[in-house]
Amino acid sequence: MRITMNQLQRKIIEKIGNEGPITFEKFMEMALYDPDLGYYASGRAGIGREGDFYTSAYLHPVFGAMIGRQLEEMWQFMGRPDGFQVVEMGAGAGYLCKDILDGLKDREFYGPLKYDIIELNPSMESRQAEMLGEHRGKVRWVRSLDQVSGMRGCLLSNELLDAFPVHIVSMEEGLGELYVAAAETGLKEIRGPLSNESIVKYFSDFSIELEKGCVTEVNLRIRDWLRKVGASLDEGFVLTIDYGYTTREYYSEERNRGTLMCYSGHRTSEDPLLNIGEQDITAHVNFSSLSKWGEEEGLRTIGFCGQGAYLVSLGIDEEISRLAGHSKDYLFELARIKKLIMPQGMGESHMVMVQYKGGGIPELKGFKLRNRMRYL
């Protein structure tokens, strides 16, 4: 039995009443991004102990410090230009930006660094501005990628693409799609034909074959996003951190129920039709699609590996050693850092990909220990 309908659920049911069943992609878009009632737009999304989930940036400032090192290396590869623009999408409360800038404030790179945050929610922008404090003069806020052009630098995201709305497909006698329809107690899922021919092309392009009974996701929005990224970036890098897999891993038999998950108060659920607008909904990223579609937009993949190997390559062990000599709560800090790099934490669940647009072939330190590009 469904819970009492909230305002957003009634809005979705009204849309279904006017238009008929909607794709899960449209439902997820409304649940997360409705301008007034969606999970992210409403300001209900919470990070940390009192929120719904943790991110790497929340766990320890060393994560941002390592990303800052990577950005500095990118700047050096590009010839140390007078202006290096970092654009962060999905900045949350601003932890990552703060830790990057804190780690760089006494370095030469801090001067030419310009930092843009793309943020749609004015209340979230206010929270970010408060978090950033002394760095506010270094940061600019914009509403969309359309406001960024002629960029030379790096577009950065941490756990952004997993929140893009996805199509849910299922294999029975043939490939079909799941829709959301009205029911007596609220909403229900029903199966119907594919809503978009691009889904067929997706399965063909990535040579995906599903077993009967398989239910999984297709994220087509990544391609649209990459088109905008490619148009905005004249020269530089795209640094993407998220949980995900290669195509082969994503659509393997062991994942025949897909990867869709919901988060609320650090509890997980597989039912997105509950607590609509009050829980996060995510699906893992197919990094093979990010690589292939990026290449089509002039973004060459130059590195791909797990977050743990990436951070170790960047020198996180040096920071751990420094903390041992200075931290008053070393064991607590060490436990949080371990969550960033260990396989049972975020070390292997989260992947790092860097793509590049420009001349030359960058060899970044973050992929010195491991580079899984050939598996894409």
Per-residue pLDDT at 45: 56
Q: In this structure, what DSSP letter does residue 368 have?
A: S
Straight-line distance from the first to the last Cα atom of the chain, in angstroms, rounded to the nearest whole number: 42
Q: In this structure, what DSSP letter does residue 44 have?
A: -
* Mean pLDDT in consecutive groups of 10 residues from the start of the chain, 376 residues: 73 95 98 92 58 71 96 98 97 94 97 96 90 92 93 97 98 96 92 97 97 97 97 98 97 95 85 92 98 98 97 93 82 90 92 97 96 96
Q: How many residues belong to the chain?
A: 376
Per-residue pLDDT at 43: 64
| Cα angle, residue 44 at apex, residues 42 and 48 outer, rounded to 5° | 150
With left for phi above 0 and alpha for psi between -120 and 50, is residue 300 left, alpha or beta? beta
Whether 20 contacts 13, CB under 8 Å: no
CB crowding 205-220: b at 16 or more within 10 Å, else e:
ebebebeeebbbbbbb
Per-residue pLDDT at 51: 46
- Alpha-helical segments (H) within 234-347: 247-250, 287-296, 307-314, 316-326, 330-341
Per-residue pLDDT at 46: 53
Residue 221: its H or E element: helix 221-232
Given the DSSP bridges, would you call strands 84-89 and 151-158 parallel, antiparallel or unpaired? parallel
Name the 3-class secondary structure at 82.
coil
Give the contacts of 263 (CB within 8 A, at least 6 positions apart).
52, 53, 269, 279, 280, 282
Alpha carbon distance 213, 253 (integer Å): 11
| Cα angle, residue 277 at apex, residues 271 and 281 outer, rounded to 5° | 45
Whether 245 contacts 219, CB under 8 Å: no
CA 334 to chain centre: 25
Tell me the CATH number for domain 7-375: 3.40.50.12710
What is the pTM (predicted TM-score) of this model? 0.94
Per-residue pLDDT at 54: 64
Two structure tokens written together for 47: 């990070």
Per-residue pLDDT at 265: 76
Name the 3-class secondary structure at 24.
helix
Whether 144 contacts 266, CB under 8 Å: no
Residue 10: its H or E element: helix 7-19
Per-residue pLDDT at 52: 46
Per-residue pLDDT at 325: 79
CA 101 to chain centre: 21
CB crowding 84-114: b at 16 or more within 10 Å, else e:
bbbbbbbbbbbbbbbbbbbbbeeeebbeebe
Whether 39 contacts 47, CB under 8 Å: no
Give the contacts of 29 (CB within 8 A, at least 6 positions apart).
165
